[in-house]
Structure 1
Amino acid sequence: MSKAAHVTPLQRVSVAEAAAWHHVVAASTAHDLPGVPTPDPGQIHAQLTQPALGSRRLTWLATAAEGAPVGVAALRVFTSPGQEHLAELELHVDPAHRRLGTGSLLLSTVLAACLTEDRRSLIAAAAADSPGEAFSERWGFRRALTLDHLILGLDEQPEADLLQIADTAPAGYRLARWTGTVPDELADAFAAAKNAMNDMPVGDLDYGSVAWDADRVRAMAKVIADRGDTLLTTAAVHDDGTMAGYTEILLPQGSGPRAQQYDTAVVPVHRGHCLGLWVKAAMVRQLRAEHPGVVEVETDNADDNVHMLAVNHRLGFRSYRRTHEFQLDLPAT
């Protein structure tokens, strides 16, 4: 293990520390995920300084002998009922400083924190066939889920096809749209629909479950707004007032060209009416009309989520990379 790297826990992240973090993440992303946009410095600063929903974050910075940043680690400690056993790892090492023990030093520090926090499951993501995958396996993480990442070029879906899908409302349903916080009159219905995500495929991950209510969906929107991002939601509302399904798109701060798909879900009793395809097509149409600076959307699906993969392929999404979710089962304290 290298003695050159020194690990420092970050308490209140300063502008300089956020810049150092961004330096490491940018170098790591460019090396391991060519073609994947690097978060800009403002996004990194917001991620490190703004509260997260249902969790808190512990962070560490590794520096070389001369003080240069060479690695970072973050531990997301989940606090919501149903997930108090869980923590999530993010770890990056500058490619120029790998194979020197920095990653192992950071992970050892994180594992000690997991014991202090009484966690039994640590999850982490790594691109398929990447150094992160090999590192995870070397440390005893087991592969628990594979995600297929897909990209949609917003100019690739023929307009006529998109209009036909978006304009064909299933009988008994109407669209609702909002930016940011859900309207008060839809908050309870939206929270009920959010709970449909608890049956999404998670492979062998010990992910737990989250109970959504109106307060939690409002808190989620506030977290996103406070870090400078924009959340767009399109929902299918049944004639009886229940929310049957929805899709969410995140526009990262800085108005970059790539939007991120957040949740898409259809409530079980409303499945079989092509609602997922309908709301996603309506969202794509909205992005084209109202956000011309966005040229593509990225999403990911579990590789066994056959239905949602079919919906995305129907809309023109194409697979472009894969990620493995790993889990390390921690000893009980």
Structure 2
Amino acid sequence: MSTSVHVHQLQRVSATEAVAWHQVVAASTAHDLPGVPTPDPGQIHAQLTGPALGSHRLSWLATGADGVPVGVAGLRVFTSPGQDHLAELELHVDPAHRRLGAGSLLLSAAVAACRTENRRSLIATAAADGPGEAFSARRGFRRALTLDHLMLRLDEDGKDRADLLRIADAEHPGYRLTGWTGTVPDGLADAFAAAKNAMNDMPVGDLDYGSVAWDADRVRAMAAVVADRGDTLLTLAAVHGDGTMAGYTEILIPQGVPQRVQQYDTAVVPEHRGHGLGLWVKAAMVRRLRAEYPGVVEIETDNADDNVHMLAVNHRLGFRSYRRTREFQLDVPAN
């Protein structure tokens, strides 16, 4: 291992350090994930300096002998009950500086932090069959989940678009659609939190992911975190006649309103499944995006490859698979 690589933990991330971080992430993403947009410098700075929900963040920067940034690692340490055994790793090494030991040094720092924080599980994501997967396998991570990434293009006309609009306009007796931007309205906060808990039964393969308990304060806090980093969160929900929120879907629009947006959660409460509500709210969200954000042309989502129901919903809406990633888990030995 090269001794010319130096790793130091970032305390309060400076503007210069955020620029260095972006430089590494941009190079790594372009090499390993061609066609995937790189977060802009503002997004990176907000990620590194803003608050996180139910967690705190640790960050490291690796530099070469000449002080050039060659690698970065971020560790999200979960703190909420039900997930306080868990940490999540993001690690990038500039392709021009790989095989010099930077990745190994960064991983060692993250694992040591997991031990200090008494975390038994470390998870990480890598492109399927890419260099990150090989790196993870060599260092003791086990493959725990495969994710299928899908894309829907909003600028395509024809049969698929007409079918999607029919789905959005379909009647669902006993249910109504409602939506909001940012923080959930107070009158819906408790119902939304109850619906959020339906995500705890989503397929997670062999990941030791734990569970999250949602309440009204937590859903408000989540929206505040998104807003503080400059992003916009759109939500559409199906509400039953008795006031229960039966299902919902969320879209994240990164700051600057780029052409590609991200699907966040979609969930239907168990007792309301089987009525096509997931398909309905997602189709209605596409219609809303077209009306309110005409500059958006792509929605990206991902599903576990064994989440047969949601994959079928997305394919019905016109989403098409375009890449795969894998989630890996390292069981961290106790001190």
- Shared fold (TM-score, shorter chain, > 0.5): yes
Deviations 1:70-104 (A, max 9, x none): 00001100000011100000000000000111100
- SS of 2:83's equivalent in the other structure is coil
Deviations 1:89-128 (A, max 9, x none): 0000000000111100111111111111111000000000
* Distance in 2 between residues matched to 1:156 and 1:274, nearest whole Å: 24
Query: How many residue pairs were aligned?
Result: 333
Residue 211 in 1 paired to residue 213 in 2? yes
* Distance in 1 between residues matched to 2:214 and 2:257, nearest whole Å: 29
Residue 35 in 1 paired to residue 53 in 2? no
Q: Percent identity among equivalent residues?
A: 83
Question: In structure 1, which of residues 212, 226, 229 is the aligned counterpart of residue 228 of structure 2?
Answer: 226
- SS of 1:104's equivalent in the other structure is helix
What is the CA-CA distance between 1:332 and the residue it aligns to?
2.5
Deviations 1:18-52 (A, max 9, x none): 00000000000000000000000000000000000
| Aligned pairs for 1:80-229 within 5 A | 80-156=80-156, 158-229=160-231
* Distance in 1 between residues matched to 2:62 and 2:102, nearest whole Å: 7
* Distance in 2 between residues matched to 1:169 and 1:239, nearest whole Å: 14
- SS of 2:28's equivalent in the other structure is helix
Question: In structure 2, which of residues 263, 268, 272 is the aligned counterpart of residue 261 of structure 1?
Answer: 263
- SS of 2:108's equivalent in the other structure is helix
What is the CA-CA distance between 1:254 and the residue it aligns to?
1.5
* Aligned-residue CA RMSD (Å): 0.7
What is the CA-CA distance between 1:207 and the residue it aligns to?
0.3
Q: Which amino acid aligns with 1:176?
A: T
Q: Which amino acid aligns with 1:100?
A: L
Q: List structure 1 runs of 4+ shifted beyond 3 angstroms.
A: none
Deviations 1:220-239 (A, max 9, x none): 00000000000000000000
Q: Which amino acid aligns with 1:206?
A: D
- Residue equivalent to 1:24: 24
Q: Which amino acid aligns with 1:97?
A: H
- Greater mean alpha carbon deviation, residues 163-172 or residues 194-203: 163-172
- Residue equivalent to 1:302: 304
Contact 1:156/1:316, CA 8 A, preserved across alignment: no
Deviations 1:239-282 (A, max 9, x none): 00000000000000111100000000000000000000000000
Q: Which amino acid aligns with 1:18?
A: A
* Distance in 2 between residues matched to 1:100 and 1:64, nearest whole Å: 9
- Greater mean alpha carbon deviation, residues 161-170 or residues 208-217: 161-170
* Distance in 1 between residues matched to 2:29 and 2:256, nearest whole Å: 19
- Residue equivalent to 2:55: 55
What is the CA-CA distance between 1:2 and the residue it aligns to?
1.1
Contact 1:54/1:79, CA 8 A, preserved across alignment: yes
* Distance in 1 between residues matched to 2:254 and 2:103, nearest whole Å: 28
Q: TM-score, normalised by structure 1?
A: 0.99
Contact 1:196/1:265, CA 8 A, preserved across alignment: yes
- Residue equivalent to 1:272: 274
* Distance in 2 between residues matched to 1:255 and 1:48, nearest whole Å: 20
Contact 1:179/1:232, CA 8 A, preserved across alignment: yes
What is the CA-CA distance between 1:170 and the residue it aligns to?
1.2
- Residue equivalent to 2:12: 12
* Distance in 1 between residues matched to 2:272 and 2:323, nearest whole Å: 31
Gaps of 5+ in 2: none
- Residue equivalent to 1:76: 76
Contact 1:250/1:259, CA 8 A, preserved across alignment: yes
* Distance in 2 between residues matched to 1:185 and 1:113, nearest whole Å: 41
- SS of 1:110's equivalent in the other structure is helix
* Distance in 2 between residues matched to 1:113 and 1:3, nearest whole Å: 21
Contact 1:258/1:296, CA 8 A, preserved across alignment: yes
What is the CA-CA distance between 1:155 and the residue it aligns to?
2.2
